[in-house]
Chains A and B, each alone.
Chain A
């Protein structure tokens, strides 16, 4: 599993984290190419079912990025995200997914370096975790 390349979905809020990802690009911070970003206006737009759907369809991990607590463009959306995140982690565990396959984190519009760091560390963590049971089954199903 040493050459395992996870496929990771990131939901990034428009105002902070998506802009932080832009800043990472502008600053040419290099990071592993495992993540795909879906832009939402606020991290609170991410419906728990969307995370569950991503994992049950075989993505290896999901990361939701929002503004730092207190900085939400919509005042308190990221607090909803934080609470939903706690609930969702527990739910995912009962579905057989390791808790850390789903994480919530904060990146501001100015934090290009932090974006790169958060993404790189997340990819490393998921690599160490290996494929999820769904993506493993999917792989063995198609390539056995």
Chain B
């Protein structure tokens, strides 16, 4: 490699930097730094004139490392990297120094100290630049096929949307029919239309599209790989099936919590859950006599802290149906709070009250109890508002329980190397900024597998996940960050510490040709956080662009080199 020649370009940013920091002084200081061959100031380094100057000086002085001391890499790094590239210098041989946000703007009344700090920051930047090595951006091909796990409404929505866009879709459903939990529902809010109608529409989009391969009574057995080229093995009724896909959508849904024993569920006849009620309603049974609903059953307590979210709407809906079917029956909803969110559910709440459904509030400190040994006859309740205990007659008690994470979720999470939260629901990359994506590239999440979602939300999330999965598949390839980790097998002892700390499952302990364990980084899966590099006891793993040699040199330069208080004395 040719001799290192660092060029330093210090920006005035009009008066933003130059108004506080003595920029010419910094330029002069930079000239004497080790391996710095050239240094100049620019009024605006990011202007055409500034960028042209960088390119000219690279050629004129044979510069092979570039430092720009101006604003923040978060907005301007790409611009300067490209400029370097245009002048034939690898984009990773560029180092940014922040003199504006981190210096002139925060020390506006201390020009001398700011100038001194600016010199030190430039010194650190030049020290790192001298140790930068060229890196290449890798590109990975994306197979335009998606595996959708789960055939509930979220999965159907995702699969239908992707198939419509022309992508190959493999839809895997554990049960022998599509539709998930919605299959057992009777009517839906708002509009009181049968759930089967909606399912028919969603299912037809999938079954009538040749792009979709459907695997019923099937499960995902194994999956390896990364965005663009996953390899999955499915167990299907006709045996094992291997498929290759570019992206994965998790839409495994949730299950209704069945807290056996709570309010005598499973012990006393007549105590059922909402899903049990939905099935009875679907079967045409509406003569349930006096009915008491108990909401928040198994939710919002010490064992399960979250709110089931949909449960209030479900109880409001079914209570009204029962009251309308049998106006003489006494239908009561025992609630801790009514969370009728949005515009539709609040209207439904009023409709239920107008229909004659009673809503009574109870306190979790004094929860209701069911009366009756073999068959339920009533519910004893302490009414928080009146402060009195009273008995309600009941032929049926319906427990409104929350949706809970499927017990298979944690296995699937491990297989896909994606996280779950403390309740066992899958955890997306960012609640607000990346709501249907996992931190792992190419893997997406939709529906109640993330958190109790109603049907509209599940369909919306399915469509959103499909759009997110489609983006890289349309592009056909994905560029891979070059500042990834790299193992030096000669230094690696195979201790697997790196494998344990990697949040992305990008590191695997393999064997070298002598059969010794050695760590291997999958550069496509690596996100370049550097956690492994900090953890490696041998210094065998380095994060490219942030190597030990580069960081230690910056520390050394800051600690040991002289204080540049400069000409001011």
Contact = CB atoms under 8 A, between A and B. Distances in A.
Interface of A: 7, 9, 14, 18-19, 21-22, 24-26, 28-31, 33, 36-42, 44-50, 53-54, 57-59, 73-77, 80, 84, 116
B555 A33 contact: no
Contacts of B533: 45, 47
A7 to B, nearest CB: 8
Given A29-B106, A30-B106, A54-B559, A41 B483 contact: yes
A50 B73 CA distance: 23
3 closest A-B pairs by CB: A25-B101, A45-B530, A57-B559
Interface string B213-256: 00000000000000000000000000000000000000000000
Contact of A53 (B105, B501, B534, B556): B556
B520 to A, nearest CB: 19
Given A18-B74, A77-B529, A45 B543 contact: yes
A26 B105 contact: yes
B546 A40 contact: yes
B29 to A, nearest CB: 15
Contacts of A74: 439, 503-504, 527, 529, 531
Interface residues of B, number: 47
A22 B74 contact: yes
Interface of B: 72-74, 98, 100-103, 105-110, 113-114, 116-117, 120-121, 124, 419, 429, 439, 483, 501, 503-504, 527-531, 533-535, 543, 546, 548, 551-552, 554-556, 558-560
Given A28-B108, A45-B543, A77 B503 contact: yes
Contacts, number: 130
Contacts of A57: 555-556, 559-560
Given A30-B109, A41-B528, A58-B559, A47 B534 contact: yes
Contacts of B108: 28, 30
A120 to B, nearest CB: 10
A48 B503 CA distance: 19
A33 B563 CA distance: 14
A76 B117 CA distance: 33
Contacts of B535: 80
A110 B504 CA distance: 26
Given A30-B106, A41-B530, A116-B106, A22 B101 contact: yes
Contacts of A37: 98, 102
B555 A50 contact: yes
Contacts of A49: 552
Contacts of A21: 101-102
A87 to B, nearest CB: 12
